[in-house]
């Protein structure tokens, strides 16, 4: 048996973060959703997602296939429930399909919109589902704690240098970590430092916190917890309750709070985001399906920035700003609360960021991290450019 992580009909609610990836490749906690399922079920995973993403994230069928909703994060109760379902049976909660088990012959006919052929089994226990971009940082503390237990169970942590101060003992250090003269407070939540991670001198970190493999925290950083930094990323300044995906940089002073930053992004020096309105009112976020602003129910909500987006030094983001794929922001003043994908400009206005120029920059950025900006990446971004044209008019 293997698992197929399927994107359902609510996928578009997670734009712009999922223009460039399946839903299950979103990072929340220490791991991506896909990696959580792989570790829990100890098996490989395939993807059922948008056709233009399938070359990078392939779909394949097996003699027995467990289709799992890619927006749902696993937990022990869910794993136990999935073990009991048989071929042709589906686990649901209300109208939401959680999972279905199908044979190799039936698997190609699967659609999350058509469950009438399945025997439906109602699941009543709570679980974490990433339905909107802001769910990533609101559920991040919960998922760090779950992932921490999953990753560290039965293992022994490496040790930190005696120049550091550790409060509590809920910390796990992978091999190759370097850290000196910094403080780690695990009394507020666990702290995980990935392989070959570097914490420079004078950093102050409160749990819950996760630092990915080969990532760097710059000198004097202040990280207040409920924060995740993905692999091959650099962070500095002041960060609170935010998730930064892999291969991105916020390497300088400036505040980032209640935010999600995609892959291959760069935050310029002394850039800041507001995470609360001056009148303490509920924050609204741009919603792609309705082409309007959605009520989040949150008083604290900062910046949602999609892959390949960048901002220059001293950029100021207002409360509840959404920045699309490949956008490049610069200039004084606050840019508007929705910056369309592949936009170039700032408060004084935007023009289209041409694919040729964007690809030239992306190739250089990939090269800096010893990666190749290949034809697959070009095809995905070209398709996203076409799909988002309406928002740049």
pLDDT at position 348: 87
What are the angstrom distances between the C-alpha of 125 and each of 76, 77, 312? 11, 8, 45
Identify which of 164, 149, 225, 152 has the alpha carbon closest to the alpha carbon of residue 198.
164
Q: Are 212 and 341 contained in the same domain?
A: yes
Last residue of a domain, one of 96, 129, 162: 129
Q: Are 142 and 122 contained in the same domain?
A: no
pLDDT at position 157: 97
- Convert the pLDDT of each residue in 332-369 to its tens digit: 899 999 999 999 999 989 999 999 999 999 999 999 99
Q: Are 363 and 321 contained in the same domain?
A: yes
Q: Are 109 and 148 contained in the same domain?
A: no
Identify which of 130, 108, 113 has the alpha carbon closest to the alpha carbon of residue 22.
130
pLDDT at position 314: 96
Share of the chain above pLDDT 70, in %: 100
Q: Are 208 and 331 contained in the same domain?
A: yes
Last residue of a domain, one of 90, 113, 129: 129
**pTM to 2 decimal places:** 0.96
Q: Are 91 and 141 contained in the same domain?
A: no
Identify which of 310, 317, 244 has the alpha carbon closest to the alpha carbon of residue 277.
317
Q: How far apart are CA 157 and CA 152, in angstroms?
A: 8
- What's the structural domain count of the chain? 2
Q: Are 148 and 117 contained in the same domain?
A: no
Q: Are 89 and 189 contained in the same domain?
A: no
Q: Are 98 and 158 contained in the same domain?
A: no
Length of the chain: 393
- The answer on pLDDT for 383 being more than 90 is yes
What are the angstrom distances between the C-alpha of 13 and each of 8, 31, 224? 11, 21, 28
Rounded (10°) CA dihedral 347, 348, 350, 351: -160
Q: Are 192 and 78 contained in the same domain?
A: no
CB atoms < 10 A from the CB of 179, how many? Answer: 22
Radius of gyration of the chain (CA): 21
- Convert the pLDDT of each residue in 135-187 to its tens digit: 999 999 999 999 999 999 999 999 999 999 999 999 999 999 999 999 999 99
Contacting residues for 283 by C-beta, under 8 A, at least 6 apart: 276, 277, 296, 298, 299, 300, 301, 319, 320
- Convert the pLDDT of each residue in 94-130 to its tens digit: 999 999 999 999 999 999 999 888 999 999 999 999 9
Q: Which domain does 323 fall in, by range?
A: 135-392
- Convert the pLDDT of each residue in 295-340 to its tens digit: 999 999 999 999 999 999 999 999 999 999 999 999 989 999 999 9
Q: Are 220 and 273 contained in the same domain?
A: yes
Contact between 307 and 323 under an 8 Å Cβ cutoff? The reply is: no
Looking up tokens 């779909």, which residue turns up? 59
Q: Are 105 and 150 contained in the same domain?
A: no
Tokens of residue 32, six digits: 């991506």
Q: What is the CATH number of the domain that holds 259?
A: 2.160.10.10
pLDDT at position 107: 94
Rounded (10°) CA dihedral 32, 34, 35, 37: 130
- Convert the pLDDT of each residue in 66-100 to its tens digit: 999 999 999 999 999 999 999 999 999 999 999 99
- The answer on pLDDT for 228 being more than 80 is yes
């Amino acid at each position: 048996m293997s698992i197929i992580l399927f994107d359902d009909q609510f996928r578009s609610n997670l734009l712009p973060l999922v223009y460039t990836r399946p839903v299950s490749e979103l990072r929340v906690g220490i791991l991506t959703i896909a990696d959580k399922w792989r570790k829990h079920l100890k098996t490989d995973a395939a993807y059922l997602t948008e056709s233009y993403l399938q070359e990078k994230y392939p779909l394949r069928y097996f003699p027995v296939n467990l289709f799992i909703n890619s927006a749902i994060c696993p937990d022990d109760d869910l794993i136990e429930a999935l073990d009991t379902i048989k071929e042709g049976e589906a686990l649901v909660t209300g109208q939401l399909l959680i999972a279905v088990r199908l044979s190799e012959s039936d698997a190609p006919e699967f659609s999350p919109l058509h469950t009438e052929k399945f025997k439906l089994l109602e699941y009543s226990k709570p679980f974490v589902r990433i339905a909107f971009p802001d769910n990533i940082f609101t559920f991040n503390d919960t998922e760090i704690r779950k992932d921490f237990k999953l990753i560290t169970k039965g293992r022994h942590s490496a040790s930190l240098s005696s120049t550091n101060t550790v409060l509590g003992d809920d910390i796990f250090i992978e091999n190759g970590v370097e850290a000196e003269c910094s403080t780690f407070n695990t009394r507020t939540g666990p702290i995980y430092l990935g392989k070959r991670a570097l914490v420079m001198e004078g950093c102050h970190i409160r749990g819950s916190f996760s630092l990915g493999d080969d990532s760097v925290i710059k000198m004097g950083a202040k990280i207040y917890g409920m924060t995740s930094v993905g692999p091959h990323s650099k962070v500095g300044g002041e960060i609170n309750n935010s998730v930064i995906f892999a291969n991105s940089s916020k390497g300088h002073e400036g505040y980032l709070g209640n935010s999600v930053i995609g892959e291959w992004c760069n935050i310029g020096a002394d850039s800041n985001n507001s995470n609360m309105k001056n009148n303490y009112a509920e924050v609204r976020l741009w919603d792609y399906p309705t082409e309007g602003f959605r009520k989040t129910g949150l008083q604290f909500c900062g910046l949602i920035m999609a892959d390949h987006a960048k901002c220059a030094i001293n950029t100021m983001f207002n409360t509840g700003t959404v920045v699309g794929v490949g956008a490049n922001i610069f200039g004084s003043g606050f840019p508007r609360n929705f910056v369309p994908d592949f936009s170039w400009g700032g408060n004084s206005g935007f023009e289209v960021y041409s694919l040729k120029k964007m690809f030239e920059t992306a190739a250089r950025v990939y090269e800096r991290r010893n990666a190749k900006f290949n034809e697959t990446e070009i095809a995905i971004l070209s398709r996203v450019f076409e799909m988002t044209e309406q928002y740049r008019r």
